[in-house]
Amino acid sequence: MNEAPASTSSQPHRNGRLPDDWRVVALAGGVGGAKLATGLQTVLPPGALTVIVNTGDDFEHWGLTICPDLDTVLYNLAGVNNPETGWGRADESFQVLHTMGLLGGEDWFRLGDRDLAVHLRRSEWLRQGLSLTEVTDRLRRAFGVRSTILPMSDAPVRTLVHTDEGDLPFQHYFVGRRCEPCVIDVSFVGAAESELTDAAYTALTTADVIVFCPSNPYLSLDPILSVGNTRGLLQTLHVPKIAVAPIVGGKAIKGPAAKMMREMGYPVTPVTIAAHYDDVIDGFVLDQEDAAAADHVRMPALVTNTIMHDADDKARLATAVLDFAASLMPRTRHPAAHVRSPAAIG
């Protein structure tokens, strides 16, 4: 039985230029990625969207496997996320967290009571031998989400942030230290030895459009690109691949992306983001506040309002991105050979 119905518009903002059978893959992590994924789900037919999600943020806490980005995408697509933060559950309580603190346990990572049930169930299924892909699909179905949600890998990949205070696991940098240390570089432990799941590979190689959501490129999307030969695979896919800038007017829409860019010596501009993805995308979307930067992007660019405050904003941006992808179809669409024989979700 579904815990809550997925939140969808009663009248989807359908795009008249798009075929009904289009298959769209979104690469996502964090709140920005979850917002655009929600917009894409709204404007696309049921089942047309697959979201491949960063799992570099995953970690073990209280003896449980915590998957923050997978859960943020899940809760947003299900319409049960906290609308103020974008992550976590709406109407959440924290009795277990409070009691854990009283007992001397770790309480620096805010696990809500409803959220905790997901972690308990996920960890139970993983101990029973199910893959993270299978567990994620069970959770998606339980929450009534009509889109497919896939982890980037079933094998553990962990984001390690190299800072002026030493190497910090991602959650210790992001939550424990509130992104205060100066970032020198980022690496992804286990990425080279891992590979895309068969389901993620299938989704990418059969997609009609691939969208790089406005997630932090260094912490949310680079982990996905670092898994096995994912970046090389994307280079061979001759379908529109569109990235949406997470930087607007020299600031990150949410999170530490702008701070990290300054610390690592990069100009805080959408042009830097476009260059970062230069070898794997065909089009770039940037906010109207940065319209002047479009002339400095070495690929077709769309200037539009990329700020997503509400459901209409999410659907509007999703439609603009898909329209832009449709306009690029003639220049990108020609067959490519792929030799891997993937399997479907078990």
Identify which of 6-10, 18-22, 125-129, 172-176 has the greatest average pLDDT.
125-129
Q: Which residue has the higher pLDDT, 13 or 227?
A: 227
Inform me whether the pLDDT recorded for 232 exceeds 80: yes
Cα–Cα nearest to 306, from 292, 296, 316: 316
Please compute the mean of the pLDDT values over residues 264-279 and round it to a whole number: 96
pLDDT digits (tens, 9 = 90+) for 60-98: 999 999 999 999 999 999 999 998 888 789 899 999 999
- In the prediction, which pLDDT does 15 show? 47
Q: Residues 233-256: what's their mean pLDDT?
A: 94
Q: Are 143 and 2 in contact (CB under 8 A)?
A: yes
- Average pLDDT value for residue range 294-310: 96
Percent of the chain scoring above 90 in pLDDT: 80
Q: Do the beta carbons of residue 236 and residue 204 sit within 8 Å?
A: no
Residues 6 or more apart in contact with residue 6 via CB below 8 angstroms:
41, 77, 78, 79, 143, 144, 145, 146
Give the sign of the dihedral formed by CA 276, CA 54, CA 322, CA 258. negative
Q: What is the mean pLDDT of residues 279-286?
A: 97
Q: Measured between alpha carbons, how far is 316 from 13 in angstroms, rounded to an integer?
A: 8
Mean pLDDT of 206-225: 96
- Are 4 and 144 in contact by the 8 Å Cβ rule? The answer is yes
**82 HSE (CA, 13 A, CB side):** 16
36-55 pLDDT, tens digit per residue, is 999 999 999 999 999 999 99
Q: In Å, what is the CA distance from 84 to each residue of 28, 92, 93, 306, 337?
A: 20, 12, 15, 19, 45
Give the pLDDT band (50/70/90) at residue 17: low
CA angle 249, 289, 298 (to 5 degrees): 85
Task: Name the average pLDDT for the chain.
Answer: 90
Is residue 288 within 8 Å of residue 245, measured between CB atoms?
Answer: no
Helix, strand, or coil here: 220?
helix
Distance CA 196, CA 66 (A): 20
pLDDT recorded at residue 21: 82
CA angle 257, 260, 263 (to 5 degrees): 155
| Token pair listed for 252 | 């990150």
Model pLDDT for residues 136-176, shown as the tens digit of each residue: 999 999 999 999 999 999 999 999 999 999 999 988 888 88
Rounded Cα distance, 134 and 136, in Å: 5
The tokens for 290 are 């940065």
Q: Is the pLDDT of residue 255 over 60?
A: yes
For residue range 116-136, list pLDDT tens digits in order: 999 999 999 999 999 999 999
Q: Is 309 helix (H, G, I), strand (E, B) or coil?
A: coil
pLDDT of residue 85: 80
C-alpha dihedral, 57 to 247 to 243 to 277, nearest 10°: -80
Q: Give the up-direction half-sphere exposure of residue 32: CA atoms within 13 A in the CB hemisphere.
A: 25
Bigger pLDDT: 203 vs 15: 203
Given this model, what pLDDT does residue 18 score? 63
Assess contact for 45 and 20: CB atoms under 8 A: yes
Residues 105 and 124: their CA atoms lie apart, in Å, by 21
**What number is the average pLDDT over the span 309-327?**
96
Alpha helix positions (H), 143-282? 170-171, 198-205, 222-226, 230-236, 257-263, 270-276
